[in-house]
Amino acid sequence: MHAIERARELLSNFGRIVVFTGAGVSADSGVPTFRGSSSDALWGKYDPQQLASPEGFEADPKLVYDWYTWRRSQLASVTPNPGHNAIAVLQRERGAIVITQNVDGLHERVAPSNARVLRLHGTILEDQCTDCSHRETIGLTALPPLRDCPRCLGKMRPAVVWFGESLDGATLHAADDACTSADLMIVVGTSGQVWPAAGLVHRAKRARAKVIVVNLEPSELDDLADVVLHGRAAEVLPALVQL
Ligand code: OAD
């Protein structure tokens, strides 16, 4: 049996579905990944300690904020791709729960209105104050400069989780619950190198979920998979869901 047929069989046989995504699902929309063989991969060109850590922001807030402004400006012209659409079908028709490491908001743009997307690493579409946690939505067309919080003396920063920071406890708890009770986990476009996010796949596997990995290249999570589908998420996911 071909891998895609085996994966389709798992999809039709198992009820409680969790889809766990990473940057690769947005790559086909033109959003760069962080790792992997692409020459656009962000951590191949930029230093994550400088641009994605509280220490980096403290050392040079403008450098860090301007880098996020550049990433936000890239998102202004980006739209969800057939991979995001296939996942939205699973949300709508199979009640799938989406857990994402992505901060780009592309799942949310096509998700059914009653479906939750658990964002482990926050959102690039909001800023938050370093001191009082006041939050502001950022429009992608008129991007604000680095500025102080209107409520206190803190600095506004992107509302994403940086290296060395904790994930939101309630979100991680909800994700953990979903993985513990999942029958099937579909892992899409992630290198599996960042924890605790990657630990959710281990959690689902330990709870006896079947695991399908969809990724362009081999990943750290392949060993946990019952089926590995190598290819682009925008092609493999519609074929899996049979759109
Ligand atoms: P990575 O950039 O680490 O991994 C992306 C994976 O997607 C790689 O294994 C690629 O081979 C694969 N890939 C690339 N294009 C693809 C495509 N079209 N279809 C399918 N797969 C494709 O991204 P993440 O695992 O999401 O943290 O990275 C985890 C975290 O590290 C991110 O959330 C980010 C980063 O530092 C924060 O923003 C806090």
Question: Would the pTM count as exceeding 0.95?
Answer: yes
Residue 153 has a pLDDT of: 86
Write down the catalytic residue from 121, 134, 202, 230.
Answer: 121
Question: Is residue 53 within 6 Å of ligand 1 at its C-beta?
Answer: no
Owner of token pair 């989780």: 161
Q: 33-49: per-residue pLDDT in tens?
A: 999 999 999 999 999 99
Q: 200-229: per-residue pLDDT in tens?
A: 999 999 999 999 999 999 999 999 999 999
Atom number, ligand 1, closest to the C-alpha of residue 23 = 26
pLDDT at 116 over 90: no
Burial class (CB in 10 A: 0-12, 13-18, 19+), 147: exposed
- Residue 86: helix, strand or coil by DSSP? helix
Task: Please give the average per-residue pLDDT across 28-37, as a whole number.
Answer: 96
Question: Is residue 228 within 6 Å of ligand 1 at its C-beta?
Answer: no
Strands 117-119 and 97-100: parallel
Q: Cβ atoms within 10 A of the Cβ of 1, count?
A: 9
Distances (CA, A) of 129 to 29, 50, 63, 152, 226: 30, 19, 17, 8, 43
Residue nearest to atom 9 of ligand 1 (CA): 191
Residue 139 has a pLDDT of: 87
- Report the percentage of the chain scoring pLDDT > 70: 100
- Report the percentage of the chain scoring pLDDT > 90: 95
CA nearest neighbour of 183 among 107, 117, 115, 94: 94
Per-residue pLDDT band at 19 (split at 50, 70, 90): very high
Name the residue of 40, 67, 84, 101 whose CB sits within 8 Å of the most ligand 1 atoms, as the mutation to test its pocket.
101
pLDDT at 243 over 90: no
